[in-house]
Amino acid sequence: MNIKKYIGDKAFYKSILIIALPIMFQNLITNFVNLLDNLMVGALGTEEVSAVAIVNQLVFIYNLTIFGAISGAGIFTAQYFGKNNHDGIRYTIRFKTIVCVIITLLAYLIFCLFSDKLIGAYLSDGSYKCDLDKALNLAKQYLVIIMVGFVPYAVTQIYAGTLKESGETFVPMVAGFCAVAVNTLINWLLIFGIGFFPSLGVRGAAIGTTVSRFAECTVVMIYVYRTRSTHGYFKGALNTLHIPKAELKLFTAKGIPLLCNECIWSVGMSLLTLAYSTYGLAIVAGQSISSTVLNLFNITFRSLGIAVGIIAGRRLGAGEFDEAVDEVRKLNAFSVVVSIVVGLITFALADAVPLLYNVSPEAKRQASFFIKASALFMPFLSYENSAYFTLRSGGKVLITALFDGCFVFFVCVPVAFIFSSFAPIAFTYIGVQFMDVIKATVGFILLKKKIWVCRIVD
C-alpha cells in the first residue's frame, strides 16, 4: 500500500485548516460551554440533569431536522459558489427558508400537544430511585422556554450555513462565541441566583440558552446586512420566495431526502436514549454527562467532516474530479489519525470528569463507562462521519440516507431494544457502539467505488 497517497503536503493541510479551524473553534467553545452548563445543572441533582437531558434529546430532533433542511440545499450552495452562480445561491436560501418555516411550525404543534407523553416515555426508576414527578415538571418548564428560541435558531442556520458553504467560516464562529458567552453568563446568574438575580434552576438554564439563540442570530444577520454588496448572493435573496421550477424540482429531489435522513437519524438517536432509559433515570443522567463530554472531544473529526463536504463540493462543482478524490482520501486519513489521539485522551479522562457532578454514584459510574466505551470506537465514528459528508457533497442523497439515518433507525435501534430486554446496560451499549464498525466498513466500500464523484449543478 502506498502510504504517501494518504498524506498531503503543508500547503494542503494549511488550506484544510483555514476552513476547518474556525468551525472547530466555534464547536469547541459551544461544546465547552455546554459542558459548563451541564456541570451547573449537574450541581442541582439527578432529577434536574435528567429533565434537561430528556428535553434536549427531544429538541435535538428539531435541531437536526433543521440541519437537514439546510444541508439538502447546502450541497447546491457549495457547487453554485464554485461556479460563481449567485442566482443559484439565492434560490437555495429561499428553499431553506420555506422548509425551515414548515419544520418550525410542526415542531411547535407537536411539542404543545404531546410534551407530557414525549417526556414521560423517558422516565423510569431503574436501580436508583428518583422523583419522577419532579423530573417531569422540571422538563416541562425547561421545554416551554427553550421553544422560544426555535425561530432565531432556524434563521441563524439558514444564513450561517450559507456563509460556511461559500467558504466564510469566521463570522459564524464569532457569532457562536457571542452566543456561548451570553449563555454562560446568564446560566451562572439565573441557575444559582447570583447577586440580585433570582435562583431559577433549570428555568435559568433554559433562559440562558434561548437568549443566546437571539444573540447568535443578531450577529449573523448584522454581518449579512452590512456585507450584502460584497456577498452579492444575499442581496435580494428574500425579496421574493420564487424558485424556478427546474431548481425547485432539483432541490426537492436532492434536499428532501437529506432532510428526512436527519429527521430519521435524530429520531433514531432519541430512541436509543429511550432504550437506555429503561434501565433507570440514573442511566439518563449518566448518558447526559457522557454525551456532553464526548461532544466536546468529537468536534475535531466532526469539523473535519464538514470541511470534507465543503472542499469536495467546491471541487466537484468546478469539475475537478481527480483533485476531489485525492483530497478526500487524504482528509479522511487525517481525520482518523486525529480521532485516535483524541480517543486516547478521552479514555484517560473518563473516570475524572463525572466526579465533578452532584449526581448519584450510579450515574457517575455509568457516565464513566459510556465515555470509555465510546472512546474506543471513536476512529470508526470519525471515518463514517467523513464518509457521510463525502457522499453528500456529490448529491448521493438516497445512498446517504440509507447509510446514515436508516442504518441507525433500522439497525442500531432494534439492537438496543432487543438487548435492553434481557442484557445489562454495558452489553447493550457496547453492542450499539459496535454497529459503528459495520457502518464505517460500508462507508469505506462506498467511497472506494467513487459513486459520489459527480457534478449536480450546470
Each residue of 285-343: pLDDT tens digit? 888 889 888 888 888 878 888 888 878 877 887 778 888 888 888 888 888 998 999 99
Burial of 110 (0-12, 13-18, 19+ CB in 10 A): middle
Question: CA torsion sign, 185 to 190 to 194 to 197?
Answer: positive
Length of the chain: 458
From the DSSP assignment, how many helices (H) and strands (E) are in the chain? 16, 0
Is the pLDDT confidence value at 430 over 80? Answer: yes
The residue ranking higher by pLDDT, 208 or 392, is: 208
Share of the chain above pLDDT 90, in %: 30
The residue ranking higher by pLDDT, 104 or 36, is: 104
Phi, psi for 280 (deg, rounded to 5): 130, 160
Query: What's the pLDDT tens digit per position in 117-147?
Result: 999 888 875 545 567 788 889 999 999 999 9
Q: How confident is the model at residue 347 (pLDDT cuts 50, 70, 90)?
A: very high
Q: How confident is the model at residue 344 (pLDDT cuts 50, 70, 90)?
A: very high
Q: What is the largest CA-CA distance in the chain?
A: 66
Q: How far apart are CA 40 and CA 45, in angstroms?
A: 10
Share of the chain above pLDDT 70, in %: 95
Is the pLDDT confidence value at 1 over 70? Answer: no
- Return the C-alpha cell found at 374: 465510546
Contacting residues for 433 by C-beta, under 8 A, at least 6 apart: 373, 374, 376, 377
Interior CA angle at 54 toward 49 and 60, to 5°? 120
Is the pLDDT confidence value at 70 over 50? Answer: yes
Q: How far apart are CA 183 and CA 289, in angstroms?
A: 19
Cβ neighbour number for residue 105 with a 10 Å cutoff: 11
Q: How far apart are CA 102 and CA 81, in angstroms?
A: 26
Is the pLDDT confidence value at 278 over 70? Answer: yes
| Span 16-28, average pLDDT | 75
Is the pLDDT confidence value at 458 over 80? Answer: no
- Most trustworthy range by pLDDT among 15-19, 153-157, 298-302: 153-157
Q: 190, 208 in Cβ contact below 8 A?
A: yes
Is the pLDDT confidence value at 214 over 90? Answer: yes
Burial of 121 (0-12, 13-18, 19+ CB in 10 A): middle
Is the pLDDT confidence value at 25 over 70? Answer: yes
Res 127: pLDDT? 44
